[in-house]
Amino acid sequence: MANWKSNVREVVPYTPGEQPKTKVIKLNTNENPYPPSPLVGKAISNIELDSLRKYPDPGCQSLISALAKYHGFDEENVFVGVGSDDVLAMSFLTFFNSEKPIFFPDITYSFYDVWASLFRIPFETKALDEEFKIIKSDYDMPCGGIVIPNPNAPTGIAEPVSFFEDIVKAHPECVVIIDEAYVDFGSESAMDLVRKYDNVLVVRTFSKSRAMAGNRIGYAIGSKQLIKYLSDCKFSFNSYTMDTITLQAGVASIEDDSYFKEKLDAVISTREWTKVQLKKLGFTFPDSKSNFIFAKHESMEASFIFEELKKRGIYVRYFSKPQRISNYLRISIGTDEEMQVFIDELKMILKGV
């Protein structure tokens, strides 16, 4: 009998949202409905084929420099990676190395428990309250680390900086990671806390607000000490993670701030319009500061609406687990036209036609 299986690192992987091959209205993975800045396209087409012969810059200097300047930090305060999933995974590996459990909300980004299991990090989830809000006092006791998205996913609820400052201040014994994947859609950033506390790491992504999920760019801002530890782990694992093309595309995105802001405003105003429409149709939802709405209908089951929408070529996200959220749909914000079609189809489904 083969017993090699007892030596395997067995894990239950994260399940990403579907990427259908056919043309559908895709409101299921919080992608941006608009393309990235035209400057990104230009940067990519200007890349000389010959430059791909060589390894990319392992220090990712051009992108780190652009991000440091953009946020008003030194380059030593910035770490970049292949999407924020890469940055977060590397941060878990680097900073969550305690016997004590790390804490995160019970309803949150469903990759956290996967990384914790993969790296054998003990963890404890903290239940959100009735209204899906994070209960700050639950995070009071000493622990191995804390990770919280702000706004939280999939609820879309944002907390002010003061909320996170209280947590960071109370935990000099560990690193506190704030996952700001959706912060650009209208909530307060905790980045300024990095100037005051050396144990806070703010993680960002180009996938949502910068419409570059296909490029895979994420980054972290933290104290120079944290970034040094993070880089040391990264360079002990894989030196060349970010490719030559992506590095230039990322710099170009940062350089076109007016396009960035214009498209953010468009998504935010479509979100606000969608909230009004959903309310009229009998949906309730926590007030979202992200590019998605987490909604439940007063009488029709979420799983039924999900399947009906899918039949009509509209994909939203449905989580059957945990039980507490099994009657909710997470609806990403598309263009005005897409959301109009979505609302029209919803009306038909609710009418039973």
Name the site residues for ligand PLP (rule: CB under 6 A).
83-85, 109, 149, 153, 179, 181, 205, 207, 213, 218
Query: What is the nearest approach in angstroms of ligand PLP to the Cβ of residue 289?
Result: 13
Query: What is the nearest approach in angstroms of ligand PLP to the Cβ of residue 153?
Result: 4
Among left, alpha and beta (phi > 0; psi -120 to 50; other), residue 54 is beta
Backbone φ, ψ for residue 63 (5° rounding):
-70, -40
Query: What is the nearest approach in angstroms of ligand PLP to the Cβ of residue 218?
Result: 4
Q: Are 201 and 226 in contact (CB under 8 A)?
A: yes
- In the bound state with ligand PLP, the residue whose beta carbon lies nearer, of 105 and 218, is 218
- In the bound state with ligand PLP, the residue whose beta carbon lies nearer, of 26 and 297, is 26
Query: In which residue are the tokens 């909320």 written?
Result: 163
Query: What is the nearest approach in angstroms of ligand PLP to the Cβ of residue 312?
Result: 25
Cross-strand bridge partners of residue 25: 314
Query: What is the nearest approach in angstroms of ligand PLP to the Cβ of residue 93?
Result: 15
How far does the chain reach from its first CA to its final CA, in angstroms? 57
Q: Are 234 and 241 in contact (CB under 8 A)?
A: yes
Query: What is the nearest approach in angstroms of ligand PLP to the Cβ of residue 132?
Result: 15
Please name which of 325, 350, 338, 211 lies closest in space to residue 274, comparing C-alpha atoms.
338
- In the bound state with ligand PLP, the residue whose beta carbon lies nearer, of 68 and 213, is 213
Query: What is the nearest approach in angstroms of ligand PLP to the Cβ of residue 294?
Result: 12
> Distance (Å, rounded) from C-alpha 279 to C-alpha 273?
10
Query: What is the nearest approach in angstroms of ligand PLP to the Cβ of residue 263?
Result: 17
Q: Are 203 and 111 in contact (CB under 8 A)?
A: no
Output the residue with the shortest Cβ distance to ligand PLP. 83
Query: What is the nearest approach in angstroms of ligand PLP to the Cβ of residue 86?
Result: 7
- In the bound state with ligand PLP, the residue whose beta carbon lies nearer, of 37 and 207, is 207
β-strands 78-81, 283-284: how paired? unpaired
Please name which of 140, 89, 81, 77 lies closest in space to residue 113, comparing C-alpha atoms.
89
- In the bound state with ligand PLP, the residue whose beta carbon lies nearer, of 189 and 207, is 207
